[in-house]
């Protein structure tokens, strides 16, 4: 399998002087379901946002699907970003618009300004959007406003939005951290399905080891902006767990 | 405390003391002029002030120090401290100077009520014969306010994006654009609509058009500020998500920002129309046309019964606008 993401010596130093990412080297193979573990503040969110340049890395080298992310400007950056879907802890949907409209925004990377302004009349786009809503089990909620949906439903809408991009990679920033355990598992199931059926590479930060074991094919532990563990989910025993989460941590089982 | 920080605070403290004492001596000079027809020359006021500042600093009883620098907490009552009495002194002297400057005259207030008899009787016995003329002028004012609001919307809408801190990139150009637009908006807003009306009544002639132009300028400035503050308060999440899909900057604004601001924008705009109706009346006084101009004319002709009708009409319109706009805003924000 070829590497779809190649990261070399990535650093991020914020203007405040905080050194969030300290020289991370990481290659992600095509089709992997990579779980990022680490405490809050360990640099997971910053790391994921550097990959599609929502946050500007300070130095280093990132290639996604053979494209140089760091040097990309304007159109080139848009072209890379649309291949990389992103899912957020707070869903980041526009709450006073319908599910359908929110899903359609996933197509913006492919659309000219004029095309995107006429979304309501683009039959083809709407057809694909409805198909993606159907995939996440929300076909009947297309016209519902986001604010009237539950947390789990909202996260599924955001998965449908990402699917509009035809992504090769999905970055998921704690996608289930604001959901209850049962809903969390059902959302992870959809991500697992995209990984298996659609062969989409997934990089997902999580807090729960049980979900990491269930869905992940590889686990990377991040601590203070450095990689402290890289292996299979099964390799994480008590000792490794304490390396990532610190001496005082106890593993909590969910479900 | 950091050294440079302490230096800055000390300077502020000294400056405060200087201003404090120069002001006190300035006031004393004014009072001496009023009461004894003898003034302290301006230069001497500054010299006395500086000397007083030096004295309070030497004795460690300065006001500036109390305000800007950390002092030991004591349980002394305020009236046992020097700074307590300094504040009493400045308040008292300011009040006396103010009383003299404003020419407060309670005798006139209580004994000359009869002078206002004409206008009072006009208000309680309005002359409804001129109602048609008044309604025409009133319509002029309301439409003037409406058009001013409508013309201001597109300009303020576009400007507000460039005056929003969170949308402008943190580069030299981004900062410059932000600062220029914010500064101009603040400047134009601080110039009263009445001043704009004077300028435009010379420019395009006395009449409602001049009034409208005055309100357009003022509304653009005010709405740009309100709108951009609304943009700064949006949830950054959706903007981030839409950027991540590969959308262009303009698409990010249209799909990530606009849906979040549309209903507060409507609420502000209706509120602005409400304000503009009120302002349009005042603007009419200085050549902006409409009901304000009519009021001015009738008042100068001393036709108090006509003035009475106009006052009632203005009150009614302002009251109705206020109620309607409050109701609409409630609906918009509740959504």
Last residue of a domain, one of B43, B75, B104: B104
Please write the tens of the pLDDT for every residue from B50-67: 999 999 888 878 888 877
Do B182 and B319 share a domain, yes or no? Answer: yes
Domain of B311, CATH number, reads 1.10.3720.10
Most B CBs within 10 Å: which of A50, A74, A91, A94, as the mutation test of the B interface?
A: A94
Query: A156 near A135, Cβ under 8 Å?
Result: no
Query: A53 near A77, Cβ under 8 Å?
Result: yes
Do B82 and B23 share a domain, yes or no? Answer: yes
Distant-in-sequence, close-in-space partners of A158: CB < 8 Å, separation ≥ 6:
A87, A88, A91, A92, A93, A102, B241
Shortest Cα distance, chain B CAs vs residue A174, angstroms: 14
B144 sits in the region (left: phi over 0; alpha: psi -120 to 50; else beta) called alpha
* Residues of chain B with C-beta less than 8 angstroms from the C-beta of A109: 245-247
Q: Is residue B28 part of a domain?
A: yes
Do B61 and B134 share a domain, yes or no? Answer: no
Smallest CA-to-CA distance from A6 within A32, A25, A23 is with A25
Most B CBs within 10 Å: which of A69, A105, A118, A169, as the mutation test of the B interface?
A: A105
Please write the tens of the pLDDT for every residue from A37-92: 888 888 899 999 999 999 999 999 999 998 899 988 888 999 999 999 999 999 99
d(CA B316, CA B310): 10
d(CA B135, CA A15): 61
Burial B191-208 (b: 16+ CB within 10 A, else e): eebbebbbebbeeeebbb
Do B238 and B296 share a domain, yes or no? Answer: yes
Digits of tens for pLDDT over chain A (255 positions)? 789 999 999 999 998 888 989 989 999 999 999 999 888 888 899 999 999 999 999 999 999 998 899 988 888 999 999 999 999 999 999 998 999 999 999 999 999 999 998 888 888 999 999 999 999 999 999 899 999 999 999 999 999 999 999 999 999 999 998 888 888 999 999 999 999 999 999 999 988 888 888 899 999 988 888 898 888 888 887 777 777 777 676 665 544
Q: Is residue B148 part of a domain?
A: yes
Do B134 and B94 share a domain, yes or no? Answer: no
Please write the tens of the pLDDT for every residue from B118-165: 888 888 888 888 888 899 999 999 999 999 999 999 999 999 999 999
* Residues of chain A with C-beta less than 8 angstroms from the C-beta of B256: 94, 105
Confidence of residue B290 (pLDDT cuts 50, 70, 90): confident
Do B176 and B85 share a domain, yes or no? Answer: no
Query: B192 near B282, Cβ under 8 Å?
Result: no
pLDDT at A252: 59
Please write the tens of the pLDDT for every residue from B70-121: 766 677 787 778 888 888 999 999 999 999 999 998 888 888 888 888 888 8
d(CA A222, CA B132): 79
CB nearest A88 (choices: B237, B254, B255)? B237
Count of CB pairs separated by less than 8 Å, A with B: 78
d(CA B2, CA B6): 6
Q: Is residue B8 part of a domain?
A: yes
A226 sits in the region (left: phi over 0; alpha: psi -120 to 50; else beta) called beta
pLDDT at B37: 84
* Residues of chain B with C-beta less than 8 angstroms from the C-beta of A108: 242, 245-248, 251, 255
Q: Do A92 and B246 touch (CB under 8 A)?
A: no
Tokens of A126: 């709407």
d(CA B110, CA B140): 39
To the nearest 10°, report the CA torsion of A26, A32, A35, A41.
Answer: 40
* Residues of chain A with C-beta less than 8 angstroms from the C-beta of B241: 86, 88, 92-93, 105, 158, 161
Q: Is residue B226 part of a domain?
A: yes
Of the two residues A199 and B6, the one the predictor is more confident about is: A199
Please write the tens of the pLDDT for every residue from B150-159: 999 999 999 9
Q: Is residue B109 part of a domain?
A: no
- What is the count of structural domains for chain B? 2
Q: Is residue B41 part of a domain?
A: yes
Confidence of residue B218 (pLDDT cuts 50, 70, 90): very high
Query: B223 near B160, Cβ under 8 Å?
Result: yes
* Residues of chain B with C-beta less than 8 angstroms from the C-beta of A92: 235, 237-238, 240-241
Q: What ipTM score was computed for the predicted complex, to two decimals?
A: 0.90
- How crowded is the C-beta side of B313, counted as CA atoms within 13 Å? 27
Residue A180, beta-bridge partner list: none
What is the CATH T-level fold of the domain A3-245, as seen in this structure?
Answer: Rossmann fold (3.40.50)
| A69-A75-A78 Cα angle (round to 5) | 60
Tokens of B259: 């849906």
Do B31 and B68 share a domain, yes or no? Answer: yes
pLDDT at B245: 94
pLDDT at A255: 44
What φ, ψ does residue B287 adopt, rounded to 5°?
A: 110, 15
Q: A19 vs A13, A15, A42, A49, CA distance in Å?
A: 4, 9, 11, 15
Q: Is residue B286 part of a domain?
A: yes
d(CA A159, CA A132): 9
Q: Which domain holds residue B219?
A: 122-334
Shortest Cα distance, chain A CAs vs residue B246, angstroms: 4
Q: Please, which contacts does B165-171 make with residues 24 or more away whose CB atoms are closer than 8 Å?
A: B165/B232, B166/B231, B166/B232, B166/B234, B166/B236, B167/B231, B167/B253, B167/B257
Distant-in-sequence, close-in-space partners of A186: CB < 8 Å, separation ≥ 6:
A152
Q: Is residue B117 part of a domain?
A: no
Average pLDDT, chain B: 88
Mean pLDDT of B324-335: 78
């Amino acid at each position: 399998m070829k590497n779809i993401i190649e990261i070399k010596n990535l650093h991020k130093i914020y203007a405040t002087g905080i050194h969030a990412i300290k020289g991370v080297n990481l290659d992600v193979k095509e089709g992997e379901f990579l779980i990022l573990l680490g405490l809050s503040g360990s640099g997971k969110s910053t790391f994921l946002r550097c990959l599609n340049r929502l946050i500007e890395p300070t130095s280093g080298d990132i290639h996604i699907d053979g494209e140089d992310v760091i040097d990309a400007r304007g159109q080139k950056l848009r072209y890379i970003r649309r291949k990389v879907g992103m899912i957020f802890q707070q869903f980041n949907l526009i709450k006073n618009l319908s599910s359908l409209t929110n899903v359609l925004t996933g197509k913006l990377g492919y659309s000219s300004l004029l095309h995107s302004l006429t979304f309501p009349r683009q039959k083809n786009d709407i057809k694909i959007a409805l198909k993606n809503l159907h995939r996440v089990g929300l076909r009947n909620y297309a016209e519902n406003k986001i604010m009237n949906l539950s947390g789990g439903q909202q996260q599924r809408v955001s998965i449908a939005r990402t699917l509009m991009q035809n992504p090769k990679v999905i970055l998921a920033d704690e996608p289930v951290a604001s959901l209850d355990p049962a809903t969390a598992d059902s959302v992870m199931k959809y991500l697992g399905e995209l990984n298996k059926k659609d062969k989409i590479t997934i990089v997902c930060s999580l807090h729960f080891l049980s979900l990491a074991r269930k869905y992940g094919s590889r686990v990377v532990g991040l601590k203070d902006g450095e990689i402290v563990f890289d292996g299979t989910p099964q390799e994480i025993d008590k000792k490794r767990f304490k390396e990532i989460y610190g001496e005082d941590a106890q593993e909590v089982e969910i479900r | 405390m950091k050294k440079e920080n302490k230096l800055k605070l000390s300077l502020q403290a000294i400056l405060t003391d200087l201003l404090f004492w120069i002001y006190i001596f300035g006031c004393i000079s004014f009072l001496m002029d009023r009461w004894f027809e003898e003034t302290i020359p301006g230069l001497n006021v500054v010299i006395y002030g500086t000397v007083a500042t030096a004295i309070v600093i030497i004795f460690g009883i300065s006001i500036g120090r109390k305000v800007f620098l950390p002092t030991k907490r004591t349980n002394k009552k305020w009236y046992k401290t020097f700074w307590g009495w300094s504040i009493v002194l400045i308040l008292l002297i300011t009040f006396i100077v103010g009383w003299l400057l404003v020419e407060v005259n309670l005798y006139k207030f209580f004994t000359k009520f009869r002078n206002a008899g004409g206008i009072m009787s006009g208000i309680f016995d309005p002359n409804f014969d001129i109602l048609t003329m008044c309604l025409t002028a009133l319509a002029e004012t309301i439409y003037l306010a409406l058009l001013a609001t409508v013309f201001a919307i597109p300009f303020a809408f576009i400007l507000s994006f460039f005056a929003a801190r969170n949308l402008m990139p943190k580069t030299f150009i981004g900062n410059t654009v932000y600062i220029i637009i914010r500064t101009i908006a603040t400047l134009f807003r601080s110039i009263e609509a009445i001043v704009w009306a004077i300028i435009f009544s010379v420019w395009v002639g006395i009449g409602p058009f001049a009034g409208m132009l005055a309100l357009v300028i003022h509304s653009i400035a005010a709405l740009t500020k309100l709108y951009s503050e609304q943009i700064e308060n949006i949830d950054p999440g959706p903007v981030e998500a839409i950027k991540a899909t590969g959308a262009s900057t303009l698409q990010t604004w249209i799909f990530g920002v606009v849906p979040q601001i549309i209903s507060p924008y409507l609420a502000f705009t209706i509120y602005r129309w409400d304000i503009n109706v009120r302002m349009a009346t005042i603007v009419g006084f200085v050549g902006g046309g409409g009901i304000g101009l009519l009021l001015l004319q009738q008042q100068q002709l001393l036709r108090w019964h006509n003035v009475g009708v106009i006052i009632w009409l203005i009150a009614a319109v302002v009251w109705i606008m206020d109620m309607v706009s409050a109701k609409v805003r409630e609906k918009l924000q509740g959504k």
